[in-house]
């Protein structure tokens, strides 16, 4: 995000780095190779997941998730720097058909910036 690298450039680089080590392998293969300490921290793949191959299309999800997380981290920092001017924050959902009912119910609610609510409801 910081360097402005386009998705296609990132994708080519990611495929080169991950092919054979992660990309194109099954979830079961990757799970079987994890050290016991790592396995203890995670849920094992289900029987149906064990045979799923990690495809190139998964890179789009990884890229998008990481870009949005980086954006939200920067936005959170900006909000923290202006909390004296804006001590109240408003929760806003996307408002589309994908919003879960619990999040739809929170849409428009206002909480203080230091309210514990934001620890679990601020975007990742």
pLDDT given at position 29: 92
pLDDT given at position 54: 87
- Assign residue 41 a region: left if phi > 0, alpha if psi is -120 to 50, beta otherwise? alpha
Q: Tokens standing for 26?
A: 């099954």
pLDDT given at position 7: 86
pLDDT given at position 85: 97
pLDDT given at position 105: 95
pLDDT given at position 120: 92
What is the distance between the alpha carbons of residues 8 and 24, in angstroms, rounded to a whole number? Answer: 19
Which residues in the chain land under pLDDT 50? none
pTM, to two decimals: 0.63
What is the distance between the alpha carbons of residues 44 and 57, in angstroms, rounded to a whole number? Answer: 22
pLDDT given at position 23: 87
pLDDT given at position 34: 93
Convert the pLDDT of each residue in 97-124 to its tens digit.
Answer: 999 999 999 999 999 999 999 999 988 7
pLDDT given at position 19: 84
């Amino acid at each position: 995000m910081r360097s402005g690298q386009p998705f296609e450039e990132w994708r080519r680089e990611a495929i080169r780095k991950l092919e054979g080590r992660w990309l194109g392998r099954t979830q079961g293969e990757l799970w079987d190779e994890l050290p016991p300490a790592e396995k203890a921290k995670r849920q094992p793949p289900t029987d149906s997941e064990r045979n799923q191959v990690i495809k190139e299309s998964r890179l789009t999800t990884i890229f998008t998730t990481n870009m949005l997380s980086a954006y939200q981290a920067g936005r959170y920092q900006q909000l923290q720097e202006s909390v004296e001017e804006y001590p109240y924050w408003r929760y806003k959902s996307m408002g589309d058909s994908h919003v879960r009912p619990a999040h739809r119910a929170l849409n428009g609610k206002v909480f203080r910036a230091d309210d514990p609510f934001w620890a679990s409801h601020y975007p990742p």
